[in-house]
Amino acid sequence: MRDKEDKRVDGSRRTWLIATTVAGGFGGVATVVPFVSSFAPSEKAKAAGAPVEVDISGLKPGDMMTVAWRGKPVWIVNRTDEQLADVKKADGEVADPHSKMEFSMPLPEYCNNEFRSRADHKNIFVAVAVCTHLGCTPTPRFQEGPQPNLPDNWPGGFLCPCHGSTYDMAGRVFKNKPAPQNLDVPPYMFTSATQLVIGKDEKGDV
């Protein structure tokens, strides 16, 4: 009788050990999988540093759109002929008309011109919307003429609401303002007449 009871105990113990081992195995898988997947970069992390494709087919003359690239806002402005003319008028009023002083990135060679844009799409202005003073985001003030916090001869451009720095329609800072440099122009390229990529050009990804 004793032998039979011992066998039953051993059998129960064996069953319990197997069940515990299996359950522990499943628990191990459940614990390990999320841990391993945490090593893979999230889609958000990939997008933060990856080039951004933008469709500008709906961007009318005088309009602006904002997209995110590397965690920063980037403007795309379809400037009118009048706004391009205002850029020329502002040459004598801006602190660095030829963008000789870099801020956080070098000006792309193809934008090293008065309009700070590609010659074949000179009306399209692309800029990082971060004030070069303390990093605030300027606001568009495209309307010309006198208005609050702007001079009476305002040609149109951008106003930083934090400390009053102003930029023209090419992102060049006006003289005697807190901001020391022009707005950054990121590398970009057109893949079609209505499609552009920010963060990538003929030299590759940035």
CATH of the domain at 111: 2.102.10.10
How many structural domains compose the chain? 2
Handedness of CA 141, 146, 151, 154 (dihedral sign): positive
Is 138:161 a contact under the CB 8 Å cutoff? yes
From the list 15, 40, 37, 190, the residue with the least C-alpha distance to 118 is: 190
In whole angstroms, how far apart are CA 46 and each of 71, 81, 116? Answer: 11, 37, 28
Q: How far is 139 from 173, CA to CA, in rounded Å?
A: 13
Its domain, for residue 117, covers: 46-205
Same domain, 168 and 194: yes
Q: How far is 118 from 42, CA to CA, in rounded Å?
A: 33
Residue whose structure tokens are 């090293």: 112
Long-range contacts from 59-66, C-beta under 8 angstroms, 24+ separation: 61/123, 62/142, 64/140, 64/142, 66/129
Same domain, 33 and 93: no
Same domain, 10 and 69: no
State phi, psi for 202 to the nearest 5 degrees.
-60, -20
Same domain, 53 and 29: no
- Burial (CB count within 10 angstroms: exposed 0-12, middle 13-18, buried 19+), residue 73: middle
Same domain, 19 and 80: no
**The model's pTM:** 0.76
Per-residue pLDDT of the chain (206 residues; tens, 9 = 90+): 544 444 444 554 444 444 444 344 433 333 333 333 333 334 564 455 789 999 999 999 999 999 999 999 999 999 999 999 999 999 999 999 999 999 999 999 999 999 999 999 999 999 999 999 998 999 999 999 999 999 999 999 999 999 999 999 999 999 999 999 999 999 999 999 999 999 999 987 76
Same domain, 34 and 97: no
